[in-house]
Structure 1
Amino acid sequence: MTLAHIVSPEEAGSLKPRFVDARWFLPNDERVGRTEYDRLHIPGAVFFDIDEVATPSDNHPHLAPSPKKLANWLGAVGITPDACVVIYDEAGFFSAPRVWYLLKALGHENVHVLDGGLSAWRRVGGDVTSEVPAYEPADYPLPEKLSWPVVDREIVRHALTGRMADVVDARPAGRFKGRDPEPRPGLSSGSMPGAFNLPFSSLTGADGRFLMPDQLDMLFRDKGLDPAKPIIASCGSGISACVVLLGLAEAGWPMGTLYDGSWIDWASHPEAQIEKEGA
């Protein structure tokens, strides 16, 4: 059994793809994606800045960019709609699936996530460099029909109260249950009433590689999810929720949609309903 949207380091090398470095780190992490890219990256890779290729907001660091903004970025780095693209982050499944999801939403078919990320690439002897490549700009036209699959707080609230969709929160259990703090100062931890908790790390094995489709299907069913019901994925700020969306696609389930604002948007609302374990 193989994965449809994920490639191993060995497979990636044979594809001769356009590599996209999508490293991004939580606010309480000293590392910065751009700095890590400048230090070392896969030869030929371009850096996708999740905080820059975004919709500006006073309350959220990286709401999804408009389709036009994303297409403009792709064209600026010489990526065309028919290009094979492989996206990676540090360990494989944290921020890279966010960029994968955005490209899939744009209609880019030939896009994959590097299994195990840059760490796995280096473990098998893959080359790295600090040289920043230069590409001729290209035209990246927008598809004629495009449905941007992100939802806002009101849609999520109605989904929860009306049970019209399963809302899955990919944050670690401690934050979901309100035991551990959020990485953003002043933001309460806890959960949306009625949401399911499926930490993004549960979709990978002990070796950091993604679970196989049958394992993913079992994981989702064991959590009480229904493949016939729409699924909305959330997390802290819309990054690791996309690991769940990638997992749904690999399991053969409907893709699901992203709560773009995620917990930042929910918990910062003055009328936010927040559940905490034992409260």
Structure 2
Amino acid sequence: MDLQVRVSAPATGTGLPVILLSHGHGGSNNLSSLNGYAPIANLWAAAGFVVIQPTHLSSRTLSRQLADTPGAPVFWRSRAEDMSHILDRLDEIEKTVPQLAGRIDHDKIAVAGHSLGGHTASLLLGARSADPDTGEEVNLLEPRIKVGVLLAAPGRGGDILNGPMAEMVPFFHTTDFSTMATPTLVVAGDQDDSKHFTDVGPDWHTDPYRLAPAPKTLLTLFGAGHLLGGISGYDAAETTDESPERVAALARLTSAYLHTQFQPDDHAWQAACEALTTGAAPAGRVEFK
């Protein structure tokens, strides 16, 4: 099956960095595909990034066609491999998209992922997991990716995965963040309680920060649930904490983080962190290591 992608880019500018965006599994038939995540993808493009979104084989839009395919329904391994395939053909993508040729900086590649997409991104950033069928440790580190953003990503495995859906994701049980050395911003909502996987509470989503080596940054968004204000779609019923203001703040912060990672003399991230904590009701807090 062909890998389909959506590309969003600024109308002007050169030397543009790239964000590979991995969608989640989600409850919607359409948002778990290249058609989802417009609220965050559009804001990233407006901030100067080329955003490339594949439809992974796990997409609900493909579930009937691929129900009996090895790896179904989650296709955890091929999801990460999709991103490497995109980078292999980035020249072709750049030349094919109208008015994009010659405008991408191929040395400035980031990966971002939400929920299951956060697990996908973590593998590309160096985390490892054992293949449930063979027990083999799987290393999908993508060295062309220089930095990552994990949005409401799953945390550690083992005995704490005691929720009713934990058996659906056996590869979560063996996730090892100790090998995830690539610089990463971990974003977690303090109301994101994934009881279908674990009874640990919202702190579970901070594990990629706590259990991975430095340099890592943790952004905790106050009042945010699993959709972080509604990043997966403009009218997504699955959003329990709809807040365009939160999505806009998330886009500003993640954009600033990535710009500073790619250009260390750019002080956008420092300014964004200072703005985050000002005012009567701060939107969140930032921790570093």
Q: Which has the higher contact order (CA 8 A, sep 6+)?
A: 1
TM-score (normalised: structure 1) = 0.29
Query: TM-score, normalised to structure 2's length?
Result: 0.28
Point out the structure with the larger strand share. 2
